Amino acid sequence: MQKELLKEAETVEEAVRLAAEELGVPTEDLTVEVLQEPQKKAFGLFGGTKAQVKVTVKETDPCKAAVAFLKDILSKMGVEDVEITAKEEDGTCALTLEGEDLGFIIGRRGETLDALQYLTSLVANRVESAFYRVTVNVGNYREKREKTLSGLARKAAIQAAKSGRKTSLEPMNPYERRIIHTAVQKVDGATSYSVGSEPQRHVVIAPSEDNPVKTRSRSRGRSDNRDREERPVRGERRDPMAIDRPVRKFVPRSNPMNTAEDIAPPERTTSETEIKATLYGRIDL
């Protein structure tokens, strides 16, 4: 069935009606684009033009509408030799592109492919005015990317569970963040959450609340804080008189030995050196 037609008439309404009759569809199922407004003849004799419209039959199948839009946009991108395979299942239309030199359609980390998928989803959802999921894939790129992200998430989750430290990943789209969250949930002792705003929103993988490593690190941190409070601050001087030190009992050098009660201490002896000393005289203590 023909889906597009150009028609001329005296008025726009007349041109649309004639196009609908020729296509065999009601006017409600047509998308109308006015190419030229009608102009009356001057003095009823000279000049004047008819109305010209371009009508397109509205697509009632969202998956077919997605395929048609994707083919049109790819042709405008200069991609002609591409085969689009559509598979509709459980309210989802999966479109797979096959061809040569389609790497630029994927883009950096799939950014171009995600943009095409987003635009195609908008077109498909306008058909029924309801949520309709569309996925666009080039070969098996999505499967490879999912496997890579799952491995990355599992490795980071195991490291977070063992070390008790968190790890921030690069910004990702919602689809890839869901892959990360799903993979982290399978690792005991680890959890994940998203932070930031688009387009810099990313996933943080951290130890879970019930992780024993995290509990021990918290306890160790509290004990370190207590020790830090008890230790003096660097640079702080203490009053030497305020320090309690044991006082030793004074023992005279002339009588170093203890004596018994009622016994006189031995007489102090004088050495020969002291007797012969002449400098400043001899001083008896």
- Burial of residue 170 (CB within 10 Å: 0-12, 13-18, 19+) is exposed
pLDDT band at 90 (very low <50, low <70, confident <90, very high): confident
| Domains of the chain and any CATH numbers | 4-57 (no CATH), 62-139 (3.30.300.20), 145-212 (3.30.1370.50)
At 169, phi and psi to the nearest 5? Answer: -95, 175
Q: pLDDT value at position 89?
A: 82
**CA quadruple 158, 159, 164, 167: dihedral positive or negative?**
negative
Distance from chain centroid for Cα 251: 78
% of the chain at pLDDT higher than 90: 21
pLDDT attached to residue 1? 44
Give the Cα separation of 268 and 253 in Å (integer): 10
Per DSSP, the residues of 7-20 read EEESSHHHHHHHHH
Place of tokens 């299942």: 89
Q: Tell me what pLDDT residue 58 has.
A: 72
Stretch 4-31: mean pLDDT: 82
**Mean pLDDT score, 110-121:** 90
Q: What is the structure's pLDDT at 206? A: 92
State mean pLDDT over 203-220: 74
Q: Which residue has the tokens 């102090």?
A: 268
Please give the DSSP secondary-structure letter assigned to residue 257. Answer: S
Residue 47 DSSP one-character state = -
- Residue by residue, DSSP assigns 74-119 as HHHTT--SEEEEEEEETTEEEEEEEESS-HHHH-GGGHHHHHHHHH
Only one residue has tokens 């012969």, namely: 276
Dig out the tokens for 38 from the structure: 């009608």
Q: Cβ distance 204 to 169 under 8 Å?
A: yes
CA distances from 41 to 8, 9, 92, 213, 222 (A): 16, 14, 54, 89, 93
User: CB within 8 A of 41, min separation 6: which ones?
Assistant: 47, 48
Query: Mean pLDDT across the stretch 56-85?
Result: 85
Range in 85-94, 99-108, 239-248, 252-261 with the lowest mean pLDDT: 252-261
Tens-digit pLDDT profile for residues 157-210: 999 999 888 999 999 988 899 999 999 999 999 999 999 998 889 999 999 888
Rg (CA), the chain: 46
| Vertex 125 angle, CA 121 and 126, to 5° | 120
Give the Cα-Cα-Cα angle 214, 217, 223 (nearest 5 degrees). Answer: 145
DSSP symbol at 200: S
Q: Does the pLDDT at position 278 exceed 90?
A: no
Phi-psi domain of 226 (left: phi exceeds 0; alpha: psi -120 through 50; beta: other)? alpha
Tokens in use for 211? 């992780």
Strand-pair partners of 33: 54
